[in-house]
């Protein structure tokens, strides 16, 4: 099982992503520089880590979306290859239009750095069971998900995660950033193979992190990769 972690100038959550994929999940993991034009042969999973790529200039993720490597990511995603974008990685995926909507300044303007809860809203390669509640860390100032009414109606079944209380209730108080409909993560791609989310599952993947809820997303996609290669 092979993973590629993209690295942009200003990425800062790449090390924990590499560690989770390589050491926790046992995937052969390579770091791919944004100027590269191709993914390593046989890449099953592309991970776009968090950070402040290009210093968040213009808009978060906007400059990265025109990086040379993006064409290869688009191709990988369009033929059903798995992609996960975390935090700034989610912003990059919306800026490339691989995922719908946009991420804007948190409604209260504060940088949020704490653990929150999300509820698994739909099935997909990164999903555990629908209804599961996961405790995951967030660390962002621009995680307020926005999409217009028409888009929201179209993506209703693509919502992967919603901010919720510890008991799984989706309430305004459980929403840390003002995201429309408490959306914390969405699926895209032809086979729901692309996931973007603001919380950092790679920072909750080992007991030492204070929990292993995040690991479940990687375990799920790992099963999806195995299923696919068995079927092939």
Partner 1 sequence: MKATVYVRLKAEVLDPQGDAVRRALGTMGFDDIKNVRIGKLIELELGNAGSGDESSVRSALEKAANELLANPVIEDYEITFGE
- Separation between Cα atoms, residue 177 and residue 119, nearest integer Å: 16
Q: In which region does residue 168 sit, left (phi positive, over 0), alpha (psi from -120 to 50) or beta (all else)?
A: left
- Separation between Cα atoms, residue 132 and residue 41, nearest integer Å: 34
Binding to partner 1, residues 58-97 (CB under 8 A): 58-59, 62, 65-66, 94-95
Query: What is the DSSP track for 29-59?
Result: EEEEETT--SPPTT--EEEE--B-GGGG-SS
Binding track, positions 164-203, relative to partner 1; x by CB under 8 A: --------------x-------------------------
Q: Is residue 202 annotated as part of the catalytic site, yes or no?
A: yes
- Separation between Cα atoms, residue 222 and residue 206, nearest integer Å: 16
Q: Is residue 108 annotated as part of the catalytic site, yes or no?
A: no
Q: Is 146 in the site for partner 1 (CB under 8 A)?
A: yes
Q: Is residue 16 annotated as part of the catalytic site, yes or no?
A: no
Q: Is 153 in the site for partner 1 (CB under 8 A)?
A: no
In this complex, which beta carbon is closest to partner 1, that of residue 14 or of residue 142?
142
In this complex, which beta carbon is closest to partner 1, that of residue 105 or of residue 135?
105
- Separation between Cα atoms, residue 154 and residue 100, nearest integer Å: 10
Q: Is 144 in the site for partner 1 (CB under 8 A)?
A: yes
Only one residue has tokens 């704490």, namely 114
Of the candidates 60, 87, 144, 164, the residue annotated as catalytic is 87
- Give bridge partners of residue 102 from the DSSP assignment: 146
Binding track, positions 92-121, relative to partner 1; x by CB under 8 A: --xx----xxx-xxxxxx------------
* Nearest in space to 168 (alpha carbons), one of 133, 120, 218, 121: 133
Question: Where on the chain is the footprint of partner 1 (CB under 8 A)?
Answer: 58-59, 62, 65-66, 94-95, 100-102, 104-109, 144, 146-148, 151, 178
Residues forming the active site: 87, 200, 202
């Amino acid at each position: 099982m092979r993973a590629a972690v993209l690295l942009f100038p200003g990425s800062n959550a790449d090390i924990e992503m590499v560690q989770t994929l390589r050491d926790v999940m046992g995937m052969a993991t390579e770091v791919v520089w944004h100027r590269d034009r191709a993914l390593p042969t046989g890449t099953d999973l592309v991970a776009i880590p968090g950070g402040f790529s290009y210093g968040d200039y213009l808009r978060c993720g906007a400059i990265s979306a025109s990086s040379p490597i993006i064409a290869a990511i688009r191709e990988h995603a369009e033929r059903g290859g798995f992609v996960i974008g975390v935090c700034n990685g989610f912003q990059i995926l919306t800026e490339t239009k691989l995922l719908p909507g946009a991420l804007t300044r948190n409604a209260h303007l504060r940088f949020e750095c704490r653990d929150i809860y999300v509820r698994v809203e739909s099935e997909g390669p990164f999903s555990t069971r629908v209804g599961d509640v996961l405790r995951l860390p967030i660390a962002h100032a621009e995680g307020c998900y926005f999409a217009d009414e028409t888009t929201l109606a179209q993506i209703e079944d693509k919502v992967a995660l919603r901010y919720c209380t510890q008991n799984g209730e989706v309430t305004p108080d459980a929403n840390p950033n003002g995201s429309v409909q408490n959306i914390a993560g969405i699926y895209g791609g032809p086979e729901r193979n692309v996931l973007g989310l603001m919380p950092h599952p790679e920072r909750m993947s080992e007991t030492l992190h204070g929990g292993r809820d995040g690991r479940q997303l990687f375990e799920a996609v790992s099963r999806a990769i195995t299923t696919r290669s068995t079927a092939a």
